[in-house]
Amino acid sequence: MAHIAYVRVSTEEQNEARQIEALEKRGIGKWFTEKISAKDMNRPQLNAMLDYVREGDTVYIHDFSRLARSTKDLLEIVEFLQKKQVHLVSNKENLDTSTPTGKLMLTMIAAINEFERQNLLDRQREGVAIAKREGKYKGRQVKQIDDATFSAQYARYTRWEINKRQLAEALSISRPTLDLSLIHISEPTRRTPISYAVFCLKKKKADYDYKKIPSTSMLSNAVFRLQNKTL
């Protein structure tokens, strides 16, 4: 049961000594330190720490903002640690996820995040409704990716030359869009076996006409064009 510390400052000019001094009293056995923005979770030392921890370990941070800047990212990291049965302790917030009080605080943070998310969705829907009434709403724009580009990048993915995040970057789409777009993919070279492949850059299931999808096809021909509904 190791004691592990994650220390982060945003820029090279900033000094992490204050955080280290505050955490040294915890008997830290392993340190993960980096100078990088927390705008997302794509941080080398953060990912290294998440890979390193094992069941029963405790991760110490100076405060929540060192771990994540957004509530969404924070909850995602905490959920990951909980699945590995790793505790999280924050000095500034005096939170320990191994205690009932700490678990209650996490529940409240999650509830606030859900409340904020629902408010945002409500405002978006209201804005779309107003734009539609005024004739200004054009809807979601469909991103087109030509067959050759997709096939070439997907081939690199199946050869383990790139991971899924890098595949999304190569196609200039987000990772969630890629995950939702690779529907029923089937090729002998695919990493995980599924039955058939349709590549689509639209998320709503209602937009898919599954009856038009042929039973077999090469991946390069399995691009579902939502604009003109052609296969």
List residues with catalytic annotation.
Answer: 10
Asked if 152 and 145 count as a contact pair (C-beta separation under 8 A), the reply is: no
Q: Is residue 36 a contact partner of residue 8, using CB atoms and an 8 Å limit?
A: yes
CB 231 within 8 A of CB 224: yes
The CA distance from 2 to 85, in Å, is 13
Q: Do 74 and 6 meet the contact criterion of CB atoms below 8 Å apart?
A: no
Which residue pairs, CB below 8 angstroms and at least 24 apart, start in 222-225? 222/196, 222/197, 222/198, 223/145, 223/147, 223/150, 223/199, 224/198, 224/199, 224/200, 225/144
Cα(24)–Cα(42) distance, integer angstroms: 26
